[in-house]
Amino acid sequence: MNIKSWLEGVPTPSRCASRPTPTTPTSPPIRKRKQQQQQQQAMPTPTSSVANDNDPEYTPHSKRRRLDEERDNNDDDDDGFDIDRTPRAKSSNARSASASASNTSSHHSSSTASRASPTKHLAKLELASEKNPIIVQQITQNDARMPDELKAMLKELKNFQRASVVPDYLEAEIRARAEHDSNLDDITDATYGKIYEDGSTWPTLSLYHILQIYESAKECFNEDHAEATWNAIVHWPVFDLAVGPMVDVPEVGHSKLVAGDGQGHDDQNQRDSHHQHQREKQVRVRGMPCTAARLKGRPRTSKMVDFCFFVEPEGRVATVIDELRESIPYINHTDYNALRRRPIVLSVESKKPGEGFRKAHLQLGVWQAAQWTFLLDQLPSKSKSKDDGNVIPFLPGVIIQGHDWYFTASTRFHNTTILWTKQPIGTTESILGIFQVVCVLRHITTWIRKTYWPWYRLAILNLRDDE
């Protein structure tokens, strides 16, 4: 309904009267005057739907929600990410128009003052000398601040761009399908190999699951799905495929279940059974969705990261961690309950295609800066110097933007956290790209087992290798 239509439907004295109004004004009787007052009070008033959308003080609920979403997706908006952001209060329908307008103006001013865009927030964090300075730097191996161990990792990750990223046990199946599927054309002879010969054992890959991820990613991109959908049907299945499920199905009696592709391949099932037995002897590194995790003691912060890789403590290690938790209830820089006794190593932040990369830098940078602070606080005072070799050289990270996956890492230089970004590691836009991502994630997992975890056991838990 617009204003003109409403006005035309409003009853007026000239329409209601049965005879013309006297030319000489006279005071109506008291009873009639009361009736007119009651009639005027009963006249309808315009609904909120007729308000002018051009009025700067008026923003319909649906429009306001849309603007909020646009602000959240705009890296340079002044109303963007804020670590200390307080949730907005819902407006009351009972407010008067003037009170609502005043409150809107006041709220806008306070929001702008208390919140800053990722770019502006990162600029402030660079100068936070008394707290924990954070700077974001492009990866360049000529930078003297970058540790040699990180340079070596970056060089190793480049080797997964094309050669030996597809396991040779899938070659026959891929070649047969490639005769009818052009999406497999970029998988050549050089891409096959006997990979993962580092002593580690991994869940057996199936072409079916790789293709399923590829089709899911295409669906998310073509239909413009939300970030949560990308995480659920694309990103998490990649992690699950790379390092295995977060939990294992226990054996019962002499019955053994193996995770195959459901197609009854006996050789694959035998391979899975052998690998499952071997994995029991390895350090258990698993992935976990953790969008609800917040920084310790700051429950009102915005979402920090979407996924993490952690070590599942077992045996003596689990006992020592529980003893340590008597003084610090959470073994990480977050008080997320599911991670209270599982040390976090790799952290992952995801965004929709083409959106929020600076915001991802801010979230991952703040998250890993807090992780560095926590780890350094657990070290003996004499072991906190990088020159002593008692501090891990870097913390690995991943930023996902729709299809595209990037490796990042944070390091410490004096008292500053540096987030190094970004090295491409693969894409779900192609089938070969998914194999590349899986290889990189497994390589990082091997680094966790062979480098990070021995350091953590000794430096944080004070455990030797034989304990």
Residue 305 in this model has a pLDDT that exceeds 50: yes
Residue 22 has a pLDDT of 46
Q: What is the mean pLDDT of the chain?
A: 78
Q: Which residue has the higher pLDDT, 436 or 8?
A: 436
Q: Say how many residues make up the chain.
A: 467
Tens-digit pLDDT profile for residues 201-218 = 788 999 999 999 999 999
pTM score of the predicted model: 0.74
What per-residue confidence (pLDDT) applies to 92?
41
Does the structure show a pLDDT above 60 at 37? no
pLDDT at 19 over 50: no
Work out the average pLDDT over 37-64. 45
What residue ranges do the domains of the chain occupy?
126-250+257-459
Q: What is the mean pLDDT of residues 330-354?
A: 97
Please, which pLDDT band fits residue 112 given cuts at 50, 70 and 90? very low
Going by DSSP bridges, is the β-strand pair 416-427/134-138 parallel, antiparallel, or unpaired? parallel
Q: How confident is the model at residue 258 (pLDDT cuts 50, 70, 90)?
A: low
In the sheet where 285-289 sits, what is the strand order? 134-138, 416-427, 404-413, 395-401, 344-351, 307-311, 285-289
Lowest-confidence pick of 221-235, 309-323, 384-398: 384-398
